[in-house]
Structure 1
């Protein structure tokens, strides 16, 4: 590594760390802390658990602050170098602006890769733990009851079983309805007052009725009443009530598994595909921000931290406006989920390259 590369790396680290602290403080103070205080008042969350929740939510905020901090550090460093005439000194020594940007781009790429690792390992686990703790207070008044449960089993995109349960209380299922299909046609309906799951035998229904629908119209409908019946359904009631993870709680691997399951079941996976690529595109925005940060930073009068922070916030706002628009287009299927996730990076990146090319010719 050449002296110039070491020098620029060293200059970037300080503002980058300051940016992480500043943006984390801003985001945590204006959104996270405000929401947590509201939740703590509503659900009587003790101060100790409130601190734990804050700590568990913090990694998500820190991950968002990484690309923002890259932008701030490049604007600040190149603004100072421009005002101190260091860039002119580089040029007079035969070192072009493009050459100076190489260590910045490498720095941005390193942070992007670190962000991916951080988002895959720490953020999902912390977010999941926070959500579980939240739910323990939100549902503390009736923790053992799950109401109005609907579950559909698919095979090759076609429903083979639809299950509806009024509620599950202390392991007992109440008011159960099961509709089973064969080759797309209704085959059997089971209605039962109560039921429970036994590990060895499976589903056990009580006080119910079964209707068998004939495949041939000449045959009659078969009706069977029962007091106790073992029903062969390869689904554990836990699967019916299992909490679905949100986007922040899932790694890319988990998202991909969810996408494949939806494709197998004939469901629309567009939102999950977009979320999968968003995890990558937002992480690689650090690389994009490093390019546009240089382009903006070399303009005159950009040396103060306040000016750098202000410009960073404006660029970030524009980026997230573009992201909101593209996500809306992706969810409405106007744009492909892949393109919707990456288009803000493409627009901001191309803008940065054009500005950098323009500045390098001055």
Structure 2
């Protein structure tokens, strides 16, 4: 490998790794900011949060990788231009196309790796991420007993805590309302102080009370006490202990099989199988519609007498089926006909809704199948913008290149999002919706590559200043001649 190629590759790899890590960190912070309310205060173990963040980082690669390629390519060639290294390369007889070629090969390798990641790793990461995020959002708060609120977190109990200490375990002025069960009658408990903590296996919440009173009403008429009147009992206690089950409040994982039907969790083979299945259901549903409607159709034998004349090859029918019917019979015929028409309409509506669901599923699967390939191609398309843009602006570092790359990436990402949404909704075909962003930015990249190869002053403020000064001078001369 030539030393020049090695220099260019080293100049690209270091900013690419740095920018990729920065973008991943920013996207991860956005994830935490979005779901912070669903994660904090629910008693998750630290490894659950770390696992969720790991899967979120894997799903963010599809956004972070193209942006990192764009930003690092602008920084690389901008830095080379700022340090006059591109001038030295061109003075040695090496064109910009040859200087970009080794970097283009590196980006192709990176794009191939991105495709394999999108094919094999991303579906599994999406499955893990969305299933774990669903369970985390469905998890109830670990603050089972908030201050000054009647909490119904536990079945058959309503508990109110007036105040809690800073440790979150010491309770003051506790009131417990217990509902009647098969084994125990209802009771009311009031305690001045108490304490709560989890059991060692995290299956129960232990409540310990001191200096309290328990009020209980129990039915009478037992074997040993034939008095049918209810009994009211009051106990004063120095210490009482209750164990509440956390089964419904513990963090339970949902089976991942419930999420596997989503298209984001499928690879290309599974998407192809899904499209074949949906196409088969669409064809069979369309073919069966006539068979379902035929059962509502009734055929009547019309006598030949009503046909009185033949005009120009067709028979004129003067008497209808209701001509000899009484008014009551006509009303019955009309009611029956309307009933049959409504039945056919309802049946066709149900069949049409079902067919629309099949078409929508096929459309979404086809759009997701196309998206599998756009990640790789988007890296190449954005590199075609980043490399010539860096050579034109001749600025390295994290200043102007960041601004320009963010602007281009926002345009690319907005078009990509709108196109994919339109493809899923059927407003665009799956191919057009998935590839429209790349079709828009690729001509821009080719134009910038041409401008960079011809040493264009596309972003030189002085050239624009001279152009407008010349334009104004010509305009002024015309005014003077008049």
Q: How many residues align?
A: 262
Q: Which has the larger radius of gyration?
A: 2
CA distance in 1, matches of 2:90, 2:381: 24
Which residue number corresponds to residue 24 of structure 1?
Answer: 24
1:19–1:72 CA contact under 8 A, matched in 2: yes
Shift of 1:140: 6.2
Aligned residue in 1 for 2:276:
260
Change (3 A) 1:342 1:19: same
Q: How much does 1:52 deviate?
A: 1.4
Among 410, 435, 439, the residue aligned to 1:317: 410
How far apart are residue 44 of structure 1 and its match? Answer: 5.1
User: 3-state DSSP class of the match of 2:106?
Assistant: helix
Alignment partner of 1:14: what SS? helix
Bigger strand share: 1
Decide whether the 8 Å contact of 1:36 with 1:50 is kept in 2. Answer: no
Counterpart of 1:251?
A: 267
Contact 2:419-2:433 within 8 A present in 1 as well: yes
SS of equivalent to 1:302 = coil
How do residues 1-362 of structure 1 correspond to structure 2 at under 5 angstroms?
Answer: 1-30=1-30, 32-41=31-40, 45-138=44-137, 242-266=258-282, 267-268=358-359, 269-362=362-455
User: Secondary structure of 2:419's match?
Assistant: helix
Separation in structure 2 between the aligned mates of residue 361 and residue 137 of structure 1, nearest angstrom: 56
Instruction: Measure the CA separation in 2 of the matches of 1:110 and 1:34.
Output: 34
Deviation at 1:244, TM superposition (A): 4.5
CA deviations on 1:269-326 (whole Å, 9 max, x unpaired) are 1121111111211232111111100121112342122322222211110101211232
Runs of 4+ in 1 over 4 A off after TM superposition: 137-141
Unaligned runs of 5+ in 1: 142-240
Residue 332 of structure 1: how far off its partner (Å): 4.3
Question: Residues 370 and 431 of structure 2 are in contact (CA less than 8 Å); yes or no, is this contact kept in structure 1?
Answer: yes
Give TM-score scaled by structure 1 length: 0.67
C-alpha spacing 1:134/1:343, structure 2 compared with 1 (3 Å): closer
Residues 51 and 353 from structure 1, CA distance in 2 versus in 1: closer, same or farther, beyond 3 angstroms? Answer: same
Pairwise CA distance, 1:116: 1.2
- Aligned CA distance change for structure 1 residues 71 and 332 (closer, same or farther; 3 Å): same
Tell me whether 287-296 or 44-53 shows the greater mean CA deviation.
44-53
Q: Distance in 2 between matches of 1:259 and 1:343?
A: 22
Q: Which runs of 5+ in 2 are unaligned?
A: 141-256, 283-357, 456-482
C-alpha distance 347-138 of structure 1, shift in aligned 2 (>3 A): closer
CA contact (8 A) 1:53 1:130 kept: yes
TM-score (norm 2): 0.51
1:41 to partner: Cα distance: 3.8
Alpha carbons of structure 1 residues 22 and 242: separation in structure 2 relative to 1, 3 Å: closer
In terms of mean alpha carbon deviation, does 291-300 or 243-252 score higher? 243-252
Instruction: Show the counterpart of 1:211.
Output: none
Question: Which position in structure 1 is the counterpart of 2:204?
Answer: none
Change (3 A) 1:89 1:137: closer
- Report the CA distance shift for 1:285/1:133 in structure 2 as closer, same or farther (over 3 A): same
| CA drift at 1:246 | 3.0
- C-alpha change, 1:325 and 1:61, in structure 2 (3 Å) is closer
Check the 8 A contact 2:389/2:452 in 1, yes or no: no
Q: Deviations over 1:154-188 (max 9, x none)?
A: xxxxxxxxxxxxxxxxxxxxxxxxxxxxxxxxxxx
How much is the aligned-residue C-alpha RMSD, in angstroms? Answer: 2.2
Residues 291, 356 of structure 1: 8 Å contact kept: yes
| Corresponding residue SS for 2:93 | coil
Q: Deviations over 1:72-117 (max 9, x none)?
A: 1110010011111111111111111111111121121111111111
> In structure 2, how many angstroms separate the alpha carbons of the residues matched to 1:352 and 1:138?
42
Give the superposition deviation at 1:42.
7.7
